[in-house]
């Protein structure tokens, strides 16, 4: 039987030079922390998938040496979470957490926001996973309780999708910035990520201070 609560946790630190994005230092750690809190404080047991593989495992079983997440990996994982292929049953609750770079680019005359993957290649028009596509997955998903948490630049663009998604679901949408704002990563030495204030509250078992509808 498919678990009723499922989570996809993505934390990307590695961005090769050709992506034109700098490596991050705490995105993967933030993902690991969120996964641990879901396991510790979740009302129901979560089945957790992570990218890169092994992100939420400690020690020798931790992330692969590359730490890379490719676009097709992310696209497939999001689709399997919100629209699993038959005969798989959808979870009752689906949670998607992304920590990494976000970017805003004009494509075919339309400005879009992307969750930047490790194989982004801006010089040839490849930026990562479009938020528009995430909205399409949510719109067609049979999952009844949807949680989206984006810890990246321009993540507030997610809220622009609200008029286009069904109202027969319960949503909790958390973004690190507004649609026009970049984010700033605080150094690993300080042990804090872009959205660490919310993570701190979750780690302490407190409410993050957002309402869900």
Q: What is the rounded average pLDDT of the residues 5-9?
A: 96
What are the pLDDT digits (tens) for 148-192?
999 998 888 888 877 667 778 898 989 887 665 555 555 545 545
CA dist 79 and 63 (Å) reads 22
Beta strands in 30-90 (DSSP E): 46-51
Q: In this model, does residue 60 exceed pLDDT 50?
A: no
**For 121, which DSSP code?**
B
Q: Which domains does the chain have, with CATH numbers?
A: 9-203 (3.40.50.1460)
Q: How confident is the model at residue 206 (pLDDT cuts 50, 70, 90)?
A: very low
Residue 175: predicted pLDDT: 87
pLDDT in tens, 13-42: 999 999 999 999 999 999 999 998 888 876
pLDDT at 179: 63
Q: Mean pLDDT across the stretch 64-84?
A: 90
132: which 2 tokens? 């528009």
Distance CA 150, CA 30 (A): 11
More confident residue, 57 or 48: 48
pLDDT in tens, 129-150: 999 999 999 989 999 999 999 9
Characterize the bridge pairing of strands 102-107 and 170-175.
unpaired
What is d(CA 23, CA 6) in angstroms, rounded to the nearest whole number? 28
CB 69 within 8 A of CB 10: yes
């Amino acid at each position: 039987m498919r678990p009723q609560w499922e989570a996809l946790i993505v934390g990307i630190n590695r961005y090769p030079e050709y992506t034109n994005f700098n490596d991050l230092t705490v995105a993967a750690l933030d993902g690991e922390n969120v996964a641990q809190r879901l396991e510790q404080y979740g009302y129901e047991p979560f089945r957790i998938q992570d990218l890169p593989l092994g992100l939420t495992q400690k020690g020798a079983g931790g992330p692969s040496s590359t730490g890379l997440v490719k676009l097709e990996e992310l696209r497939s994982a999001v689709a399997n979470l919100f629209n699993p292929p038959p005969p798989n049953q959808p979870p009752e609750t689906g949670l998607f957490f992304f920590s990494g770079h976000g970017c805003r680019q004009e494509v075919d005359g339309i400005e879009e926001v992307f969750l930047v993957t490790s194989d982004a290649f801006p010089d040839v028009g490849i930026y990562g996973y479009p938020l528009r596509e995430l909205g399409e997955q949510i719109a067609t998903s049979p999952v009844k309780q949807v949680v989206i948490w984006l810890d990246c630049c321009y993540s507030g663009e997610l809220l622009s999708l609200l008029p286009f998604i069904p109202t027969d679901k319960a949503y909790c949408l958390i973004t690190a910035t507004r649609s026009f704002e970049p984010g700033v990563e605080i150094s690993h030495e300080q042990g804090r990520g872009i959205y660490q204030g919310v993570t701190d509250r979750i780690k302490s078992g407190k409410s993050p201070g957002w309402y869900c509808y």
